Amino acid sequence: MTDIATITPNPAVDLSTSVEKIVPVCKLRGTSQQRDPGGGGINVARVVRRLGGDVRAIYPVGGATGDLLRNLLDKEGVQSQTFSIAEETREDFFVTEVATGQPFRFILPGPRLSAEEWQQCLTLLSRIEPFPRSVVASGSLPQGVPDDFYARLTRIARQRGAQMVLDTSGPALAAAVAEGVDLIKPNLREMRELAGREPNDAREWEAAAKALIHSGKVATIALTMGHLGAVLVTCDEVLRAEPLSIAPISAVGAGDSFLGALLWQLASRGNLEQSFRYGVAAGGRRAVEPRHRSLPARRRRASCAAGCHQSGVTDSTGMDVFSRAADENS
């Protein structure tokens, strides 16, 4: 049985380069060129695979770009399960300005999916045997796909007894939460959309997450708050991670790394506290390493484990969760 299946309705091939300085009109000559698989669920699958986990990525492919995307994932050892679409898979374009170190991200709209095409994804998921323990739906919805698409996936996962994990935004997030999901990973903007208000500090954001948990629509919320750290909330427990003392290069991919490492550790039978700490460590590492640097699985696991012990995660009593575990086991 596959531990984790990720679903990415709007995947991409990310083309990256760097230029000395971005100025109008002039030809800007890139100093490098790199193509990588992209899209929320695909990024989560790549992290799980690099950590040595068992994962499959489900996504649509169209045209030459779709073929390239599948080939790039094959090279990384990520198992793909695809369905064909008529229009071309999108490309996104990332440029780093060397003079300032600032990243510029150009996200293209991507293909329009017909009803027959997006329904293929629902059928494909429902027919997987044996069914994965966790279904992770992540990223934006392409044109033509209804807002309740992730809610429909949630119903399938529930019928098959799997955990449903969601990382998206806007009406698609609201519709899935109304259906009821096991775990969501919002950022501050997405949590604001769900709460319908603007909390002022970390404790107010935490209270907004608790309120959503108590509504019965979500079992677990892993809220990433950037400069405020992160918090993981269930009906019984609150875990807090202080912001890491790092100088981030870019936040691109940090949320996907956080979610991928958290789910990998949960699938490895890690407890919630340890899994949260791994997520915080992986997200922090992604923020400070060059965009395309990739470590072998063994070194990446070791790196996450080292960061895991360094990240300050406390429970609702304020005690460090690793210290508490040590006391309980002594």
Is 167 annotated as catalytic?
A: no
Q: Is 26 helix (H, G, I), strand (E, B) or coil?
A: coil
Instruction: Give the alpha-carbon dihedral of 63, 69, 72, 74, to 10 degrees.
Output: -90
CA distance 323 to 194: 34
Instruction: Give the alpha-carbon dihedral of 16, 18, 19, 23, to 10 degrees.
Output: 50
Q: Output Rg (C-alpha) for the chain, integer angstroms.
A: 19
Check 14, 256, 320, 327 and give the catalytic one.
Answer: 256
For residue 68, the one-letter residue type is: L
Which residues, at least 6 apart from 314, have a Cβ–Cβ distance to it below 8 Å? 239, 240, 242, 320, 321
Q: Is 41 helix (H, G, I), strand (E, B) or coil?
A: helix
CA angle 115, 120, 121 (to 5 degrees): 110
HEC secondary structure over 132-198: CCEEEEECCCCECCCCCHHHHHHHHHHHCCCEEEEECCHHHHHHHHHHCEEEECCCHHHHHHHHCCC
CB 212 within 8 A of CB 194: yes
Q: Catalytic amino acids?
A: 256
